[in-house]
Amino acid sequence: MGSRWAALALILAGLAACTETTTFISTWKDPAAQPISPAGKTVAAVFVTRDISQRRAGEDALAADLTARGAHAIPSYTVMQDYGGKTDADSAGTQLKQAGAQGVVIMRLVGKDQQVTYTPGTATPAYYGGFGPYWGYSWGTVYDPGYLRTDTLISVETLIYSLNSGKLLWASTSRTTNPQNVNALVKEVADATAKEMAKQGLLTQ
């Protein structure tokens, strides 16, 4: 029986991990921008962090998501001479253009919060009117002590620029609950962003 419950717990955990938990705090799109399609476009993926290993992981995940949508995506760390965040904007733009990028998608973590939720327990009055009645009553009214749940909320800023014009086409701030790692966070935010952009008429599939 224990192994069956353990298997069920693993299945439920997997289903929970697949649940989308990203919501948008704010969004903006260029009112003059025409609907765009990622298909056939060369797009640079940038994940802003001072941690180089996290930047690589984030850009790889973002580039993989963009590629799955038909774009030719390139992680910026693969084409920039200095990918530690010290390159000035003009040099960065030049290097990305030389790599063939027409646009750039930038993600940056802007917040991390903890949210504690308390679910109160339940109590029931005692009943002692004989063994038989008490037996059935007691099993049906076991005290629930309640519990505390702590969630981690990660806020991400996502910006999309046209490198040809230098204009900002899209900006959003999103919040994701309990991401497992950088890859999972980037993929979920990218998926949610694509859906929201399509909803607002800026992205065509």
Adjacent-strand bridge partners of 72: 42
What residue segments make up the domains of the chain, in order of their start?
A: 21-112+155-199
Residue 78, number of CB atoms within 10 A of its CB: 14
2 phi, psi to nearest 5 deg? -60, -40
pLDDT digits (tens, 9 = 90+) for 69-93: 999 999 999 998 765 566 788 888 8
Quick one: average pLDDT of 172-198? 94
Check the CA dihedral 28-33-35-36 and report its sign: negative
- pLDDT of 136 above 80: no
Minimum mean pLDDT range among 7-11, 49-53, 189-193 = 7-11
Quick one: average pLDDT of 54-63? 94
What is the spatial distance between Cα 107 and Cα 93, in angstroms, rounded to a whole number?
A: 16
In the CATH hierarchy, which fold is given to the domain comprising 21-112+155-199? Rossmann fold (3.40.50)
pLDDT digits (tens, 9 = 90+) for 148-167: 888 999 999 999 999 989 99
pTM: 0.76
For the stretch 118-138, what's the b/e string if a residue is b when 16 or more beta carbons lie within 10 angstroms of its beta carbon? eeeeeeeeeeeeeeeeeeeee
Minimum mean pLDDT range among 49-58, 142-151, 163-172, 174-183 = 142-151
**Starting at the edge strand that comes first in sequence, how are the strands of the sheet with 168-177 ordered?**
23-29, 168-177, 144-162, 103-122, 42-48, 72-75
